Amino acid sequence: MSPIVAGVDSSTQSVKVVLRDADSGELVASTSRPHPDGTEVNPLEWKKALDSALSELSNHKIQAISIGGQQHGMVALNSKGEVIRDALLWNDTRSDVAAQQLNQEITDIHLRTGSQLVASFTASKVRWLADHEKENAKQVAAIALPHDWLSWQLTGAKSLDDLFTDRSDASGTGYFDPVNNEYCRDIFAAALRNDRQVVLPKIIAPNSFGGTSTTGIPIACGAGDNAAAALGLDAGVGDLIISLGTSGTAFAVSDTSTHDVSGEVAGFADATGNFLPLACTLNAAKIFDTVAQTLGISFSEFSELALDAKVGAEGLRIITHFDGERTPNRPQAKGLFTGITHNNFTKANIARAAIEGVIAGMVYATQALEKLGVNYSRVLLIGGAAKNMAVQQIAADFFGKSIYLPPDGEYVADGAAKQAAWALSGATTPPQWSMGEVKQIAPKSEATEVVAEYMELIRQ
């Protein structure tokens, strides 16, 4: 009988757990639990949700587990291992000024870490803590990321020295060198405004176990959510992944590192030993929900209306920076409707323009990757919004090439499960699981001029 492995996706919105056959990848069981809303959350809520989900699946014998988690979130711990304050999540933009300060103070930070800092990065949040909550900053004995902390909690360990992570998630801190696989201690000290020795989770190999749960289950190193998704998709060099969830991400598997001084592209590591240059937008599927609710229609009606409208929505444009923006780095930006006339301000055109605006943001993010020499031959579209037919077709039209749709799945959790199976096998490469048929959506309409207009509006 094949071993069963567990993969966890601890995201902003929820925790999802999948159980898969370690040899074939066949899905055995799955479940999920919601997370509290907000940009700062008590990490204990994540642990409660994970414990509840694993309890539901306790009738299965799990032989290895791995956790994929939302990147960047700052979990500050004191010397007793207690959480000092609610974790600041990736989408908390209060640290935008702190990011600017650190970029000015450490002028070669993008060369050393692969990334120019923006508000999302952990280093920016550490600096914000040092400047705005001095008493809390004085207590800091360790800084963990969400997935590091959850893995550590599963072990039941009390020692901060038992914290462990992987290079993919560490590469989102802003104080890690993904080429040499080591922390930049001086950058961390600058962020904290203190050079005392603070514990940072040890980096372990992508096919290794970092600890054992209180129930005896080996725990693999885990990964950042995008790296786990790439592993779950079996993405390789030459693949561009467009993920449309709460945020939108464009990332590609690359065998070389990137160093973007503009800050638009983060030079992340992947979960296998390669690199994962990534550009992220703060506004994706949430835009569709907001616009559909405002129009008083269901999401399926929203999609049908968008497909009924012409490419370019008869000149109506929506710049979808409703929650500020990360790519381009404008955390205080607002959304914009432009090109409105009496004739084009219809429900159909508004629905179309909302989707076009989001996809245009992903094209802009992809162009940022291209400027750094990142090449790709295939575009994979994933995320909750990727199931929508209008989103699929508009993406194909705006990218001007076929879009590939993997089968429905929990890609982050699937990637974590694959990593657990990899560590369990002792092999040098991840298992090759067949995840089903990949569909192809070809472009139907020419959208070059509309895309060019959106690029200019975003730049403005």
Judge whether 174 and 115 are in contact, CB under 8 Å. Answer: yes
Phi/psi class of residue 193: alpha, beta or left (left: φ > 0; alpha: ψ in -120 to 50)? left
Helix, coil or strand: residue 242: strand
Instruction: Read off the DSSP letter of residue 313.
Output: G
CB contact set of 41 (below 8 Å; sequence gap of 6+): 35, 86, 87, 89
Helix, coil or strand: residue 170: helix
Residues that are catalytic: 225
Q: Shortest CA distance to 191 belongs to which of 113, 277, 86? A: 113
Judge whether 97 and 195 are in contact, CB under 8 Å. Answer: no
Residue pointed to by tokens 């603070």? 198
Dist. CA 392–CA 449, nearest whole Å: 19
**H-helix segments, 156-310:** 167-170, 185-192, 225-232, 285-295, 299-308
Judge whether 73 and 145 are in contact, CB under 8 Å. Answer: yes
Judge whether 90 and 120 are in contact, CB under 8 Å. Answer: yes
Residue pointed to by tokens 């369990």? 424
Helix, coil or strand: residue 103: helix
Instruction: Read off the DSSP letter of residue 61.
Output: -
Here the tokens at position 260 are 């973007």
Judge whether 88 and 95 are in contact, CB under 8 Å. Answer: yes
Dist. CA 83–CA 68, nearest whole Å: 20
CB contact set of 110 (below 8 Å; sequence gap of 6+): 116, 259, 260, 261, 263, 267
Cross-strand bridge partners of residue 335: none
CA-based radius of gyration for the chain: 21
Helix, coil or strand: residue 3: coil
Helix, coil or strand: residue 381: strand
Here the tokens at position 358 are 């989001």
Here the tokens at position 209 are 């176990």
Judge whether 102 and 127 are in contact, CB under 8 Å. Answer: yes
Total residues found in the chain within this entry: 460
Dist. CA 276–CA 252, nearest whole Å: 6
